[in-house]
Amino acid sequence: MVTDPPFAQTSLFRRLKRKEAPALEQVIKLYLPQVVRTARGAGLGEEQAQDVAQEVFLTFLNALDRFEGRSHVRTWIFGILYRKIAEARRQNKKSTAEEDIDVIFESQFDSRGSWIQPPRAGDLSRYAEEIRSHMQNCMEGVPARQRMAFVLKEIEGFETAEICAVLEAEPGNVSVMLFRARNRLRDCLKRKGVQGK
Amino acid sequence: MNCRSVAKLVSSGDHETATWFKRLAIRFHFLMCDKCRRYAGEIKSIGEAARTGAVDRQDPQGLAELEKKLLRRIPKDKF
């Protein structure tokens, strides 16, 4: 999915600085689909995701003179995207279920750390098929920052280092966000009765 | 290594960056524990379902129009 290696596009960066139009078109072609997909994954509707995506690139252009190329162009674009999504979601005033996922996770194990509520045995390919129709609904229950970390990791295939740069977070925090997002999704799917049997 | 720590490592993604010894311990645990194997399979499926869903939702024609719209909005003095 992600074809270019992160933190390695210095020639693109120099061409952008020189205001070369083809370089700009290349950046848009390369990242616009990813930016829209991520905005959708983060919970914005199609129209709002498109508006936010345009704002991201216009902001990127306006700030280009200040960009020193210490991070990858993509990381910078996604940092802008992350802030724009946060703004848009504040306007949407979406509330998310805040039942503590850490407590839910722990409740599945006994004091020795063995499963007391084990994952149900069954056909995993059936499970994979059954969850597809519920995924989007369950994503709504994942808090914004965790959801963004999950989308960048699973949908866009970002490495942890780049997620840290986009979200301005420590690697340990990103691990916790991913842990919570994945277990919240799994718990939501379980509550919907997905068993893969 | 118990089931709770294996599940934690798998769902945080920390198993990818763990030491070779820890990764080996996880693999041994998987050999003996079908519950954790199943859990890891579910976590993997959840990521894959999110990815397929996001790709399926994409509309190539809409993207091409958006690209044109965006290029029109870029001030000529900028590029």
Predicted confidence at residue A174, as pLDDT, reads 97
Quick check: A8 pLDDT over 50?
Answer: no
Interface test with A, best of B6, B11, B29 (most A CBs within 10 A): B11
**ipTM score of complex:** 0.93
Q: Is the CB of A135 less than 8 angstroms away from the CB of B51?
A: no
B4: closest chain A residue by CA: A113
From chain A, the residues in CB contact with B25 under 8 A are: none
B16-75: pLDDT as tens digits: 999 999 999 999 999 999 999 999 999 999 999 999 999 998 889 999 999 999 999 987
Residue A130: count other Cβ atoms within 10 Å of its Cβ. 20
Q: Indicate whether A1 pLDDT > 90.
A: no
Are the beta carbons of A106 and B41 separated by less than 8 Å? no
User: What's the gap in Å between the CA of A106 and the closest CA on chain B?
Assistant: 8
- Taking the CA of residue A154 and the nearest CA in chain B, the distance in Å comes to 5
DSSP letters spanning A35-101: HHHHHHHTT--HHHHHHHHHHHHHHHHHTGGG--SSS-HHHHHHHHHHHHHHHHHHHHT-------H
Please indicate whether, in this complex, the C-beta atoms of A106 and B4 are within 8 angstroms of each other. Answer: yes
Residue A25 in tokens: 């078109």
Residue A57 to chain B, least CA–CA distance (Å): 8
Put simply, whether B55 touches A (Cβ < 8 Å) is yes
Per residue in A49-92, pLDDT (tens digit) is 999 999 999 999 988 888 777 778 899 999 999 999 999 888 77
Put simply, whether A111 touches B (Cβ < 8 Å) is no
Report whether pLDDT(A97) > 60.
no
DSSP string covering A93-139, please? T-------HHHHHHTTB-TTS-BSSPPPPS-HHHHHHHHTTTHHHHH
Contact A13, A53 (CB under 8 A): no
Backbone angles phi, psi at A170, to 5 degrees: -80, 155
Give the mutation candidate from B4, B44, B69 for the A interface (greatest A CB count, under 10 A).
B4
